[in-house]
Amino acid sequence: MRRRSLLVGLGAVLAWPVVAQQATKVRRIGFLWDSPDLWPAALESFRRGLHDLGWIEGRNVVVEYRWVEGRFDRLHEIADELVRLKVDIIVAPSSVYTEAARRATSTIPIIFASHADPIGSNHVASVRRPGGNITGLSLLMSETNAKGLELLKEAIPDLSQVAVLFDPATPSHAPGLQMLQDTAASLAIRIRPLAVRGEGELHSTFAVIASDRAQAVLVLNSLFMGAPTRIAELALEHRLPAMFGAREHTEAGGLLSYSPDRADLWRRAATYVDEVLKGADPADMPVQQPTKFELTINLKTAKALNLVIPPTLLARADEVIE
C-alpha cells in the first residue's frame, strides 16, 4: 500500500512540470517589417500593448522579428521563412507586407496595423466580416490623402497644380489616386501622378516636377518613404511646399503632414494579437478604423519657402515645429 501511494505521489510530481509547461505555453509571433528604425514610436507602442495585455517577450511569447531593410525583393522569401517557423500569428503592418504574408499562408492568422486599403487590396471581404485569415486596423489612406490635399490648399490658397508621388508596387495606390483626383477636381487643382519605384528615382522625379511648374508636392505613404530627410531636402531644394502622410517627414523638414496616429493604431493591433492567441477567429473580427489623427506643421520650412500659414490652420495643428 505504501509502495502504491509512493508511486502515485511520484507520478503526480513527474506530471506537474508537464502541466505547468502547458499552462505557460510560449506562443510565437512573426513580425514582418522594413526596419526597427522606421516609425520606432509605433513599434514601441505595439510592444508595450502586448506587455500590458500580459504577453511578456521571453516569458510567454517570442516575437520573431524579420526586417526587410529596404530589400523588398526578399520580402516573399522572408514571409515564407516565418511560415516555416510555424509561428502562431503574423503581424504585417501595411498593405505590402500583408500581401507577402497572404501569399505565404492562407491558414496562419495575419494582423495588419496600418493598412491603406484592405478591401481595395482584396485582403478582406468586408470591414464587418473579413472572412479569411486576415484582419486588423486600416489607415483610411484614400480619405487621409484627400484631406491632406484640402489642407495643402488651405495653406496655399492660390494652389492650382500639385505633383503626387506614389509607388506603383503599393497594392492600394489605385483607389487612393482616384479619390485624390475627385478631390482635386472639387478644389480646382490639377494633379500629376508620378510613379516612383524606389529612393534612387527621387532626384530625377523632382527634376520632372520642376519642369512641369508644379506649385507643391503631395507624397503618398509608400515603400520608399523610410528616408524622410532626403525627400524633404529635395522639396526644399526645388522650393516646393510638400504634404506628407507621416509626421516623421515633417520633422525632417517637410512643410505639412496629416495622418492617423500610428502609435495608437499599433497599440490597438496588440489587442487583435491578444484575442487571436486566445482563440478568436480573424474571419469574424471586424477591421477597425483610426480614431486619432495628427496634423503637423513645420514653420521653419514655411519661412524658408516665404509662406505664411493661415492662423486658422495653425490653431488646428497637433504639433507646430518652429
pLDDT digits over 37-77, tens only? 888 889 999 999 999 999 999 999 999 999 998 788 899 99
Note whether 255 and 267 are same-domain residues: no
Cβ neighbours of residue 37 closer than 8 Å, sequence gap 6 or more: 226
- Domain extent at residue 231: 141-260+294-321
Q: What is the CATH number of the domain that holds 284?
A: 3.40.50.2300
- pLDDT score for 48: 97
Q: What is the domain count for the chain? A: 2
Interval 91-107 mean pLDDT: 94
Q: Are residues 42 and 128 in the same domain?
A: yes
299, HSE (Cβ side, Cα atoms, 13 Å)? 11
182 and 205 assigned to the same domain: yes
Same-domain pairing of 113 and 187: no
**pLDDT per position as a tens digit, 157-197:** 999 999 999 888 776 677 778 888 999 999 999 999 999 88
pLDDT at 6: 39
pLDDT band at 223 (very low <50, low <70, confident <90, very high): very low
Domain identity same for 164 and 45: no
33-53: b or e for each residue (b if 16 or more CB lie within 10 Å)?
bbeeebbeebbebbbebbeeb
Query: In percent, how much of the chain has pLDDT > 90?
Result: 65
Residue 193 and residue 46 share a domain: no
28 and 63 co-located in one domain: yes
Lowest pLDDT segment from 42-46, 124-128, 202-206, 283-287: 202-206
Q: Please tell me whether residues 133 and 163 are part of one structural domain.
A: no
* This prediction's pTM: 0.81
